[in-house]
Amino acid sequence: MIFESVSSGGCRSYLVGCEDTCAAALIDPELSQIDRYKALAARHGLRFRYLVDTHTHADHFSATRQLASQLGAPVVMHRASPAPFVDLRLEGGDLLVIGRLRLQALYTPGHTNDSMCLCVEDRVFTGDTLLIGATGRTDLPSGDAGALYESLFDGVLKLAPELKIFPAHEYKGRTHSTIAQELAENPRLQKTERGAFIDMMQSLNLTMPTHVTEALRTNMSGGKTVAQMLSDAAASVPFMSMAQLKANIENGRDDVVLDVRERDAYDSGHVPGAFHLPRGQLELRVNEELKDPTRRIVVCCEFGRISTLATATLRSMGYSGAVALDGGIKAWREAGYPLTIGEER
């Protein structure tokens, strides 16, 4: 068995490959590591046959859908997953055939309703069901402390004591543990009575993961993250430097400078001569306010992100001369470039 672990902050992904057949599975891939996964597969001469998520992640962005579109491999999750883009849905006990390897699913709801663990040879990939020295939380959407208790004490913890566990998260640099070690040392597993375990899980008072709503939204639906939307927009529009815009204004060029911030931000200081049209009204008012679709339009906002999205929208609507200011009014202000205060037009 070829095995690789990839860390991304506290997130862990795993590559499992068959040396004889060059088939591989990728477990819990994270969006920022796509190039690394492909490089590892190339280094070992492997081809991904399956892209597996052990559950719907709430604390990072899954790469299964993007990798599936690039590599032509199916996305695999448990049958209970709400994601519409899943190609292969497993039940507990089902096997994934990876050359000479057999990856067996164990249904383990509790952290989420669609959680599963995956056993192969001497190890088990536990997702967020069982962590090293902890367990998955149960206070996120579809979490259930009672279900987690049953998944652990009637399922995972009855596996062979020597089995190595590889969780989807590890924040202290440990590579793995074993079932026996967790039974002996994991403080949450010392609550062996169901009621006591549930009480403990319901009183943890954990902070919410960063980007929890965005992560759930994208991982459940296949929608785009904000970063992906900005990246896609930036790839489809040209930009103008602040120095160039300043020079154009000084030379009297008749470009439209379009400020898409809200009124109070515009009034507090804007590029001289800038026309104000809030981003939220752009599509509805643009035909009335920008009557010549051939004119050069330089779009700006506070930090340069909303203006990038707005420029992409304008170009998709036929304003082929639209460009985004490279940087925002904050950077313009810090560069000491001129600003007009108050309503201009």
Residue range 86-106: average pLDDT?
96
% of the chain at pLDDT higher than 90: 82
Q: Go through the chain and tell me how many residues it has.
A: 345
pLDDT at 344: 67
Rounded alpha-carbon distances, angstroms, from residue 236 to 207, 297, 315, 323: 37, 15, 9, 10
Residue range 62-90: average pLDDT?
95
Q: What is the chain's Cα-based Rg?
A: 26
pLDDT class of 239 with cuts at 50, 70, 90: very high
Residue 165, φ and ψ in degrees, nearest 5 = -110, 135
pLDDT class of 62 with cuts at 50, 70, 90: very high
Lowest mean pLDDT among 161-165, 220-224, 308-312, 339-343: 220-224
Q: What is the pLDDT of residues 137-196, one digit of tens each?
A: 999 889 999 999 999 999 999 999 999 999 999 989 899 999 999 999 999 999 999 999
Contact assessment for residue 323 and residue 307, using Cβ atoms and an 8 Å cutoff: no
pLDDT at 345: 54
Reported as half-sphere exposure (CB side, CA atoms, 13 A), residue 288 has a value of 7
Three-state SS for 238?
Answer: coil
- Reply yes or no on whether the pLDDT at 226 is more than 60: yes
Kindly list the strands in the beta sheet with 239-240, ordered across the sheet, starting from the edge strand earlier in the chain: 239-240, 322-325, 297-300, 256-259, 275-276
User: Roughly what angle, to the nearest 10 degrees, separates helices 306-316 and 226-236?
Assistant: 50
Q: What is the pLDDT of residues 74-83, one digit of tens each?
A: 999 999 999 9
Distance of CA 218 to the CA centre of its chain: 7
% of the chain at pLDDT higher than 70: 99
Per the model's pLDDT, the better-predicted residue between 209 and 64 turns out to be 64
Distance of CA 285 to the CA centre of its chain: 33
Residue range 197-226: average pLDDT?
84
Which pTM value belongs to this model?
0.74
Average pLDDT, the chain: 93
Residue whose C-alpha is closest to residue 27's, from 8, 47, 2, 55? 55
pLDDT at 146: 97
pLDDT at 247: 94
Q: What is the pLDDT of residues 108-153, one digit of tens each?
A: 999 999 999 999 999 999 999 999 999 999 998 899 999 999 999 9
Residue range 198-208: average pLDDT?
90
pLDDT at 229: 86
Distance CA 279, CA 304 (A): 12
Per the model's pLDDT, the better-predicted residue between 161 and 224 turns out to be 161
